Structure 1
Amino acid sequence: MLSHLSHDILIREVGLRDGLQAEQKFVPTEDKLSIAHALTEAGLREIEATSFVSPRAVPQMRDAAELVDKLGQPEGVTYSALVVNRRGAEDAIKSGVKELQYVVSCSETHSQKNVRMSVEDALGQAAEITGLAKEHGLIIRTALATTFGCPYEGKVSYDRVYELLDTLFSLGVQRVSLADTAGLGNPQQVSELVRGILTRFPADGFSLHFHDTRGLGLACVLAGLWGGIQVIESSIGGLGGCPFIPNATGNIATEDVVYMVESMGVSTGLDRQKLMDAALLTEKVLGRELNSRQLSLARNHQCQTHEW
């Protein structure tokens, strides 16, 4: 474990895609645009915007092409799109996104439920998508799902993670999100696995993605930061949950992560008041209270938002 934290980290926002995908009621494209603009106003520069997948599987993402077109390509902001096969990748490239992300699971059972193919077949799709992305000069990212455990198969061995990372980087993947898809990770596990990964691979190739299913999300973030990872993925308001995992809960909330690390002297480069404005807007759009601690405090008037 490192003896100190980095002076600054990058927050990658996943609320528009990973957050909204589990919403049963369709969120109008204009509302998604409003949330996206509020996020960029707060200073977020890497945003997972949508997914080009079957609308039968994820109805919330049926406006992917329209959303990307209306978002445009503002200077300094990278919008990312999730794809699971060549057709989706082709549609995403046509839309104009500059970063493609696909999913490979550490777990065979989760892979079948999530993308309806084996891990081997998913790696085959990954190779094809990576080649296509390279042809068009796109950034290539993989979400390595169930890195810290699978609700169907249990613990995932560290060697399994290392093996899959070797394969992914050999394909030409530039960035990997280590995803705790079911919220099964704990701080000791995160510390051990991150240490093992960073003795084998460059630190700048990774981000951490935690769900707060068992209340350990922020503790796992801290363990990962101490271990040397400097990119954290989070979701405004704590939105989210994998639709293919029973009782899955939301991601860690962006505003909670920012409060924690900045109170420890770590800079995120974000405007915290504008981030709270984005969280409040998201609550208004969805018409219900969200699960972040900072929103709860603001609601109960226990502190003023400008003092956090």
Structure 2
Amino acid sequence: MTTSPNSSTAGSPSPVHPVAVRDVALRDGLQLTEGRLSTDSKVELVRTLLRLGVPELEVGSMARPDLVPALADTLEVIGALDEAERDRCWVWVATPGHVRRAADAGVRRFQYCLSVTDEHNTANIGRDTETSMAALPEALEVAAEVDGTVQLCLATTFTCPITGQVDPDRVLELVGDPRGAGTVDVVLADTLGQAHPRQVSDLVSAAQEAAGDRRIVFHGHDTWGMGVANTLAAVGAGATMVDAALGGLGGCPFAPGASGNTATEDVLFALRPDWLNPQRFHELIAAGDRMLAELGEAGRSRASAGAHGNGREFDWTLPQGPRAAVVR
């Protein structure tokens, strides 16, 4: 989805390459919420976001239900979607067995995730990084049997909650590992939200050469308030997809201190893709408000807070309606 100035978006950033915004609220966003979304609500949210123009979504995980209970109904969600909808939805996997089970349920887009550091990979997945990489070719084979596609997602690409700063050369080594050559994208995840724009720009630029013709995806968190700035830095450096979560939900159970993802509302307001206009933005905010109300969560999006505020002369401000709670 390219971005370009128009009567409602003049002055907004205009990347020279197509940029897709993927909403990850239904996977990463739900990992730490105390409340639960019903399966029906998840399916409704998927359809609403796709209808509004969000090009791709992350809708669940094959992680153990006892570890991430909010995502225990992932395959039920997938089963309720039609083929065209599933074709725009990614599911988190970490083993060939995950891919096989998800494929049997109709999943065709698999996000194969591992951590750059052994310590976090062991805490998160139960094995070291090399073991996860060694299993990737089998995961690719299983996906190919159903004509599926696989992303390589690298968590803790900037900092690790256990070992601290991560060596960029180690990240690039994994990006260029020939065992990942069959993946279609490489996701660089700022799991803790501790990166700054220059770091992001440098790593995305360097990763493009190692990734070959694969897309570079940036997955940011807003722990230190750099979520939107880092996202824009990634786009400027060549990332062609960026992740964000409706309402700014998110966090990793195995990364203490990591707060929510960069809010989808904030990223979309900054990037202004061609499909977005004030009316669709208002509908997206309303969908986020409904989700947050069902979860009993406070919203973290600054753009949503702005839209709920005063300034009715501004097209992007909501004309009326109740305001969702906002974390300040």
The more displaced of 126-135 and 96-105 is 126-135
Residue from 175, 185, 199 that aligns with 1:175: 185
Partner residue, 2:11 = none
Residues 182-238 of structure 1 show CA distances to partners (whole Å, capped at 9, x for unaligned) of: 112111111111221223334652110000011111111111111111211111111
1:280/1:295 contact within 8 Å kept? no
How many pairs does the alignment contain? 302
Task: Name the SS for the 1:233 alignment partner.
Answer: strand
The CA RMSD measured in Å over matched residues stands at 2.2
Q: How does 1:35-184 map to 2 (within 5 A)?
A: 35-74=45-84, 77-167=87-177, 170-184=180-194
Residue from 260, 276, 285 that aligns with 1:276: 285
Partner residue, 2:34 = 24
Residue from 242, 255, 258 that aligns with 2:252: 242
**In the aligned structure 2, how far is the partner of 1:169 from the partner of 1:215?**
35
Task: Name the SS for the 1:183 alignment partner.
Answer: coil
**In the aligned structure 2, how far is the partner of 1:23 from the partner of 1:176?**
27
Task: Name the SS for the 1:27 alignment partner.
Answer: coil
Partner residue, 1:297 = 306
Residues 43-65 of structure 1 show CA distances to partners (whole Å, capped at 9, x for unaligned) of: 11211111112111111111111
What residue identity is the alignment partner of 2:113?
A: V
**In the aligned structure 2, how far is the partner of 1:166 from the partner of 1:87?**
24
Residues 25-70 of structure 1 show CA distances to partners (whole Å, capped at 9, x for unaligned) of: 3321111112212211221121111111211111111111111001
- Unaligned runs of at least 5 residues, structure 2: 1-13, 318-328
Partner residue, 1:11 = 21
Give yes or no for the alignment of 1:33 onto 2:43. Answer: yes
- Unaligned runs of at least 5 residues, structure 1: none
Higher relative contact order (CA 8 A, sep 6+): 1
TM-score (norm 2): 0.86
**In the aligned structure 1, how far is the partner of 2:127 from the partner of 2:101?**
20
- Give the structure with the larger helix fraction: 1
**In the aligned structure 2, how far is the partner of 1:300 from the partner of 1:55?**
39
Distance 1:87 1:155, change over 3 A: same
The more displaced of 29-38 and 105-114 is 29-38
**In the aligned structure 2, how far is the partner of 1:282 from the partner of 1:123?**
35
2:154/2:186 contact within 8 Å kept? yes
**In the aligned structure 2, how far is the partner of 1:185 from the partner of 1:239?**
18
Task: Name the SS for the 1:16 alignment partner.
Answer: coil
Give yes or no for the alignment of 1:288 onto 2:297. Answer: yes
2:93/2:99 contact within 8 Å kept? yes
What residue identity is the alignment partner of 2:257?
A: N
What residue identity is the alignment partner of 2:57?
A: I
The more displaced of 234-243 and 271-280 is 271-280
**In the aligned structure 2, how far is the partner of 1:239 from the partner of 1:304?**
29
TM-score (norm 1): 0.91
